[in-house]
Amino acid sequence: LVLACAALGWLRLPAAAVPASVPPALALPVMALLALALLSTALLRAGWYLPAAAAAAALVLTALARQALEAALALRERARLRSAFAGYVSPQVLQQLLAGELDPARPDGPRPMAFLFADLRGFTTRGQHEAARETVAMLNRYYDAIVEPIHAQGGMVDNFRGDGIMVVFGAPQPQPDAARAAMLAAGGMVRALTALNRQLRSEGRPALEMGIGIACGEAVAGQVGSRQRHDYTAIGDAVNVAARLQDQCRPQRAQAVVSTEAATRLRAGEAQIRELGEIELRGHAPVRCCALTWPDGWPDGTVNAAAA
């Protein structure tokens, strides 16, 4: 009997049997104890003696043990999510992930998303003439500057690759206008780099030069990789297009090159738009594109010095 009650305490009762206003952690063991009391009374009337004290103790202890195990597992999962997403998503989205409101393990989509790629022009060559520590310190200053406007527009940093960054808009949290959010983030990045370049010049250092590519389209987001090592990312044709458009900033003399489909989402005054027509992209069909510039970014005339 004691073993049976211990098993009952571990399994507990179906959640559907518990009123919504009562916490399951409290209600389920109490209901099990009530059931044990009723059973003990019925058997006693039939002439059977049930040692309820030992059985009740077994039930309570195993229920508490299971509750402690579940709490430990929940804390471990929260720690895993915080480690995987902290610094990559905005604090608001991170809280939703930790609260269980967003599930990164489940593939999500296809749905509209936007993708932003950015890298520093000429930074690889520059790094050959600097100590590795100086290069890393400069990259961290650069990323500190540009990630803030990315998070302000709901973007998720998918990855950092040397002096390049990939950002997803519309995952893990859906966004009603992911394309516009990506372009507003790009404008914020340009302004942030302008401010950083002022600091660098005051220190006698050369300015940084950035190129941005943006595209939008249907994509699927989720965890990709093996059981031992995986990343949360998004997959879709627009990812490849955005990466290719980033390479067009230099020949097109633009702060950002975006697909025309994305550019139509901008509102008046949010950026200066220049039609580029169809552009041949490596490994992809031609795409209609626009060049974006922000007059309040890089005001010293180096709209994109590497493109000049």
Please, where are the H alpha helices in the chain?
2-11, 24-45, 52-85, 91-98, 123-127, 132-152, 178-202, 237-246, 249-252, 260-263
State the 10-residue block means of pLDDT for the chain, 308 residues long: 49 46 54 64 65 60 67 65 59 69 76 97 78 90 96 92 94 92 97 95 94 97 79 92 95 94 93 95 94 74 38
In degrees, rounded to 5, the angle at the alpha carbon of residue 242 between the alpha carbons of residues 240 and 247 is: 100
pLDDT of residue 228: 74
Give residue 240's pLDDT: 96
Structure tokens at 27: 């209600």
The reported pLDDT for the residue numbered 290 is 97
User: How far apart (Å, rounded) are the C-alpha atoms in residues 158 and 97?
Assistant: 16
Q: Between β-strands 272-281 and 210-225, what pairing exists: parallel, antiparallel or unpaired?
A: unpaired
